[in-house]
Amino acid sequence: MPNPRKASVVDGFMVVRMVRHAKGGEPEPSPPPAPKKEPPPPGEKKKAHIGHTVLPTRHAIRCYECGYEFTLTARSPKTYCPKCRTILEWKDYLIQGEWSEPVKTAGVIRVGPQGVLKAGSLIATDIILEGRLEGGDLEAFRWLEIGPGAVYDPLHMKALSLRVAAGTEIKLKGKTGFRDVDILGRLDARLQATGRVTVRAGGLLTGELEGSHLAVEEGGGLRARLKIVPGG
C-alpha cells in the first residue's frame, strides 16, 4: 500500500523536475534540437522530398545583360545566364532610408515606404517602389510595381511590365508601352501593351488601351477607349 503513495510522490517530483528542466533548458537547447533533428532522417527526408515535388519554388530571372529569361529552382547569391554566360548577381535588396548607390541584380529591389533614392541607377529583374525617387533612375527588366505613397517621375523609370498595386493611383502622360500591365489600383494612361493587360478586382483602367490581350476580372473596372486586336 505505501508503494503507490511513494510512487505518486516520486511522480510528482519528477514532473516538477522535468518542468524545471524543460524551462531552464528551453532557451539554450532550442538551437541544438534543430541539428539534432537531422540525424533521424526518415521523417525529415520524406517531408522535404514531398515538399520539393509538390511545391517546387521557381524563381524567374531576366538576364540584365542580354535580356534572356529563365527560371531556377535553387537560390544562390550569384548565377550565370545560360545564354550569354554572364555571371549575374542575384541578391534581393530592401532599401529603407536614403540610398545613392547604383545596384545591378537579377533579383528584386524593393524601395520601401521609408526608402529615398537620391542618386544612382537601380537595375533589377523586379522593382517594387513604395518610397521616393528623388534622384537616380529605375530599370526593371521584368516587373515594376508601384505602391501607394510612391513619389516618382515616370521619365526616370523603365520597365518591361507594370503593376499598379492596390490603393495606388497612377497617371501617365503620353503614349506608354509595356508588355504586361497588372492593375489592382487605378491607372490612367494611353497604353500600348504587347502582352496581357489584366484589371484585377478593385482596379480601374481609364484612358486608352491598344493591345491584343485584355482581361477584366470580376470587380475590376474599365473606362477606356479600346483597340484590342487578337494576334501576335
Residues of this chain that bind Zn ion (CB under 5 A): 63, 65-66, 68, 81, 83-84
Question: Is 14 or 87 the residue whose CB approaches Zn ion more closely?
Answer: 87
Would you say 49 or 85 has its CB closer to Zn ion? 85
At its nearest, how many Å lie between Zn ion and the CB of residue 65? 5
Contact yes or no for 165/145 (Cβ under 8 A): yes
Cα gap 77→106, rounded to integer Å: 10
For Zn ion, the closer CB: 85 or 171: 85
CA distance 107 to 110: 10
Decide: helix, strand or coil at residue 105.
coil
Smallest gap from Cβ 85 to Zn ion, in A, equals 7
Considering the complex, state which of residue 69 and residue 188 has its C-beta at the smaller distance from Zn ion: 69
Count the alpha carbons within 13 Å of 152 in the hemisphere toward its beta carbon: 29
Cβ proximity to Zn ion: between 17 and 83 the closer is 83
Rounded CA gap, 125 and 89, in Å?
A: 11
Nearest approach, Cβ of residue 70 and Zn ion (Å): 9
Q: Look at the block and give the residue holding cell 537560390.
A: 75
Shortest spacing between CB 179 and Zn ion, in angstroms: 18
Least distance (Å) between residue 86 CB and Zn ion: 5
CA contacts within 13 A on the Cβ side of 153? 8
